[in-house]
Chain A
Protein backbone atom coordinates (compact mmCIF):
# COMPACT_ATOMS: atom_id res chain seq x y z
CA UNK A 1 0.00 0.00 0.00
CA UNK A 2 1.37 3.35 -1.01
CA UNK A 3 1.84 5.82 1.82
CA UNK A 4 2.50 9.51 1.25
CA UNK A 5 3.84 11.65 4.07
CA UNK A 6 4.18 15.39 4.03
CA UNK A 7 6.29 17.42 6.40
CA UNK A 8 5.60 19.67 8.06
CA UNK A 9 1.81 19.56 8.38
CA UNK A 10 1.71 23.13 9.62
CA UNK A 11 4.11 25.90 8.72
CA UNK A 12 4.07 29.49 9.85
CA UNK A 13 6.67 31.68 8.24
CA UNK A 14 7.46 35.34 7.87
CA UNK A 15 7.26 37.16 4.59
CA UNK A 16 10.55 37.18 2.75
CA UNK A 17 11.82 33.92 4.21
CA UNK A 18 12.57 30.67 2.40
CA UNK A 19 11.30 27.25 3.32
CA UNK A 20 10.84 23.73 1.97
CA UNK A 21 7.92 21.30 2.21
CA UNK A 22 8.79 17.63 1.91
CA UNK A 23 6.78 14.81 0.40
CA UNK A 24 7.97 11.24 1.00
CA UNK A 25 6.30 8.19 -0.49
CA UNK A 26 6.71 4.54 0.24
CA UNK A 27 6.71 2.68 -3.09
CA UNK A 28 8.09 3.28 -6.54
CA UNK A 29 6.30 5.90 -8.58
CA UNK A 30 7.34 8.12 -11.45
CA UNK A 31 4.54 10.68 -11.38
CA UNK A 32 3.93 13.21 -8.65
CA UNK A 33 1.64 16.22 -8.46
CA UNK A 34 1.52 19.29 -6.28
CA UNK A 35 -1.77 21.06 -5.61
CA UNK A 36 -2.77 24.17 -3.75
CA UNK A 37 -6.02 24.63 -1.86
CA UNK A 38 -7.22 27.96 -0.48
CA UNK A 39 -9.62 27.87 2.49
CA UNK A 40 -13.10 26.85 1.38
CA UNK A 41 -11.95 26.39 -2.20
CA UNK A 42 -11.15 23.61 -4.59
CA UNK A 43 -7.73 22.27 -5.53
CA UNK A 44 -5.57 24.01 -8.09
CA UNK A 45 -2.82 22.19 -9.96
CA UNK A 46 0.68 23.60 -9.43
CA UNK A 47 3.14 21.10 -10.84
CA UNK A 48 3.34 17.71 -12.52
CA UNK A 49 6.68 15.94 -12.05
CA UNK A 50 7.23 13.00 -14.34
CA UNK A 51 10.74 11.69 -13.92
CA UNK A 52 13.72 11.49 -11.66
CA UNK A 53 15.46 14.82 -11.39
CA UNK A 54 12.48 16.79 -12.70
CA UNK A 55 12.42 20.38 -11.53
CA UNK A 56 9.68 22.90 -12.22
CA UNK A 57 9.34 26.50 -11.16
CA UNK A 58 6.49 28.95 -11.13
CA UNK A 59 7.03 32.30 -9.48
CA UNK A 60 8.23 31.80 -5.91
CA UNK A 61 7.56 28.05 -5.93
CA UNK A 62 9.92 25.37 -7.17
CA UNK A 63 9.21 21.64 -7.09
CA UNK A 64 11.63 18.77 -7.59
CA UNK A 65 11.45 15.00 -7.69
CA UNK A 66 13.98 12.36 -6.64
CA UNK A 67 12.44 9.00 -7.48
CA UNK A 68 15.36 7.05 -6.04
CA UNK A 69 14.90 8.68 -2.65
CA UNK A 70 11.09 8.66 -3.13
CA UNK A 71 11.09 12.32 -2.23
CA UNK A 72 9.67 15.48 -3.68
CA UNK A 73 10.24 18.97 -2.35
CA UNK A 74 8.31 22.19 -2.77
CA UNK A 75 10.60 25.12 -2.13
CA UNK A 76 9.21 28.54 -1.32
CA UNK A 77 11.44 31.52 -2.02
CA UNK A 78 10.87 34.91 -0.36
CA UNK A 79 7.39 34.04 0.82
CA UNK A 80 4.53 36.50 0.44
CA UNK A 81 1.14 36.50 2.16
CA UNK A 82 -0.62 35.37 -1.04
CA UNK A 83 1.11 32.02 -0.76
CA UNK A 84 -0.85 31.19 2.39
CA UNK A 85 -2.79 28.01 1.56
CA UNK A 86 -2.71 24.26 2.07
CA UNK A 87 -0.36 22.39 -0.26
CA UNK A 88 -0.87 18.76 -1.16
CA UNK A 89 1.38 16.33 -2.91
CA UNK A 90 -0.18 13.35 -4.67
CA UNK A 91 1.57 10.27 -6.00
CA UNK A 92 0.38 7.94 -8.72
CA UNK A 93 -0.41 4.61 -7.12
CA UNK A 94 0.68 2.41 -10.02
CA UNK A 95 2.35 3.11 -13.33
CA UNK A 96 -0.26 4.42 -15.73
CA UNK A 97 -3.05 3.85 -13.24
CA UNK A 98 -4.15 7.46 -12.90
CA UNK A 99 -4.96 6.60 -9.29
CA UNK A 100 -3.60 9.14 -6.87
CA UNK A 101 -2.74 8.85 -3.20
CA UNK A 102 -2.61 12.22 -1.48
CA UNK A 103 -0.55 13.42 1.42
CA UNK A 104 -2.39 15.00 4.33
CA UNK A 105 -1.40 18.48 3.25
CA UNK A 106 0.80 21.24 4.60
CA UNK A 107 -1.02 24.30 5.87
CA UNK A 108 1.16 27.30 5.18
CA UNK A 109 0.60 30.65 6.85
CA UNK A 110 2.77 33.53 5.72
CA UNK A 111 2.85 36.31 8.29
CA UNK A 112 3.54 39.90 7.26
Chain B
Protein backbone atom coordinates (compact mmCIF):
# COMPACT_ATOMS: atom_id res chain seq x y z
CA UNK B 1 0.00 0.00 0.00
CA UNK B 2 1.32 3.42 -0.98
CA UNK B 3 1.77 5.51 2.12
CA UNK B 4 3.65 8.11 4.08
CA UNK B 5 4.46 6.86 7.58
CA UNK B 6 5.27 9.11 10.50
CA UNK B 7 6.50 8.10 13.94
CA UNK B 8 5.69 8.68 16.66
CA UNK B 9 2.03 9.63 16.28
CA UNK B 10 1.95 11.28 19.69
CA UNK B 11 4.73 12.55 21.95
CA UNK B 12 4.81 14.50 25.18
CA UNK B 13 8.25 15.67 26.18
CA UNK B 14 10.06 18.44 28.02
CA UNK B 15 11.86 21.56 26.95
CA UNK B 16 15.38 21.01 25.70
CA UNK B 17 15.24 17.25 25.20
CA UNK B 18 16.27 16.47 21.63
CA UNK B 19 13.74 14.54 19.60
CA UNK B 20 13.34 13.19 16.08
CA UNK B 21 10.15 12.59 14.16
CA UNK B 22 10.65 10.10 11.38
CA UNK B 23 8.94 10.15 8.00
CA UNK B 24 9.15 7.40 5.43
CA UNK B 25 7.43 6.97 2.06
CA UNK B 26 7.25 3.89 -0.13
CA UNK B 27 6.27 5.56 -3.40
CA UNK B 28 9.75 6.50 -4.66
CA UNK B 29 8.80 10.17 -4.47
CA UNK B 30 11.50 12.76 -5.07
CA UNK B 31 9.85 15.57 -3.14
CA UNK B 32 9.23 15.50 0.62
CA UNK B 33 8.15 18.21 2.99
CA UNK B 34 7.33 18.95 6.62
CA UNK B 35 4.45 21.14 7.78
CA UNK B 36 3.12 22.21 11.12
CA UNK B 37 -0.56 22.83 11.70
CA UNK B 38 -1.73 25.21 14.41
CA UNK B 39 -5.31 26.30 15.17
CA UNK B 40 -6.30 29.33 13.15
CA UNK B 41 -3.04 29.34 11.16
CA UNK B 42 -3.55 26.52 8.69
CA UNK B 43 -0.49 24.61 7.55
CA UNK B 44 2.93 26.22 7.38
CA UNK B 45 5.90 24.68 5.68
CA UNK B 46 8.99 24.00 7.79
CA UNK B 47 11.48 22.39 5.40
CA UNK B 48 11.32 20.60 2.09
CA UNK B 49 13.56 18.38 0.01
CA UNK B 50 13.66 18.06 -3.75
CA UNK B 51 15.82 14.91 -3.67
CA UNK B 52 18.55 13.12 -1.73
CA UNK B 53 20.95 15.56 -0.07
CA UNK B 54 18.89 18.54 -1.31
CA UNK B 55 16.95 20.40 1.36
CA UNK B 56 15.69 23.96 1.76
CA UNK B 57 13.89 26.13 4.26
CA UNK B 58 10.19 26.71 4.18
CA UNK B 59 8.30 29.50 5.92
CA UNK B 60 9.01 28.54 9.55
CA UNK B 61 12.37 26.69 9.77
CA UNK B 62 13.63 28.16 13.05
CA UNK B 63 14.32 25.52 15.69
CA UNK B 64 14.17 22.59 13.27
CA UNK B 65 16.65 20.54 11.27
CA UNK B 66 16.17 17.95 8.56
CA UNK B 67 18.25 15.53 6.57
CA UNK B 68 17.67 13.53 3.40
CA UNK B 69 20.26 10.78 3.21
CA UNK B 70 17.93 8.31 1.53
CA UNK B 71 15.14 8.94 -0.90
CA UNK B 72 12.48 7.31 1.25
CA UNK B 73 13.27 9.01 4.59
CA UNK B 74 13.04 12.61 5.71
CA UNK B 75 13.37 12.96 9.50
CA UNK B 76 12.53 16.17 11.36
CA UNK B 77 14.87 16.99 14.23
CA UNK B 78 14.18 19.30 17.13
CA UNK B 79 17.56 19.82 18.76
CA UNK B 80 16.26 21.79 21.74
CA UNK B 81 12.45 21.76 21.71
CA UNK B 82 10.53 24.65 23.24
CA UNK B 83 6.84 24.99 24.16
CA UNK B 84 6.14 27.10 21.05
CA UNK B 85 6.90 24.02 18.98
CA UNK B 86 3.90 22.24 20.41
CA UNK B 87 1.89 21.50 17.30
CA UNK B 88 0.54 18.91 14.89
CA UNK B 89 3.17 17.98 12.32
CA UNK B 90 2.61 16.49 8.89
CA UNK B 91 5.06 14.97 6.47
CA UNK B 92 4.17 14.91 2.77
CA UNK B 93 5.68 13.56 -0.42
CA UNK B 94 5.05 13.76 -4.13
CA UNK B 95 6.44 12.90 -7.52
CA UNK B 96 7.69 15.62 -9.78
CA UNK B 97 5.11 16.64 -12.32
CA UNK B 98 2.64 19.46 -12.47
CA UNK B 99 -0.38 17.28 -11.86
CA UNK B 100 0.98 15.44 -8.82
CA UNK B 101 -0.60 16.27 -5.47
CA UNK B 102 1.24 15.84 -2.20
CA UNK B 103 0.43 12.73 -0.16
CA UNK B 104 0.30 13.37 3.56
CA UNK B 105 1.17 11.19 6.51
CA UNK B 106 -1.23 10.73 9.42
CA UNK B 107 0.40 13.42 11.52
CA UNK B 108 2.44 13.62 14.73
CA UNK B 109 1.06 15.50 17.71
CA UNK B 110 3.91 16.96 19.75
CA UNK B 111 3.49 18.52 23.17
CA UNK B 112 6.53 20.28 24.64
CA UNK B 113 6.17 21.03 28.33
Contacts and interface: CB of A to CB of B under 8 A. Distances in A.
Q: Do A and B come from one complex?
A: yes
B41 interface: yes
Nearest to B107: A42
A50 B44 contact: no
B31 interface: yes
A50 B99 contact: yes
A41 B90 CA distance: 11
Contacts, number: 50
A104 B104 contact: no
A103 B48 contact: no
A101 B102 CA distance: 13
Interface of B: 31, 33, 35, 40-45, 48, 50, 58-59, 90, 92, 94, 96, 98-107
Interface of A: 31, 33, 35, 41-45, 48, 50, 88, 90, 98-105
Given A33-B102, A100-B102, 16 more contacts: A42-B105, A43-B92, A48-B98, A48-B99, A48-B100, A50-B99, A90-B43, A98-B94, A98-B96, A99-B45, A100-B45, A101-B45, A102-B44, A103-B42, A104-B41, A105-B42
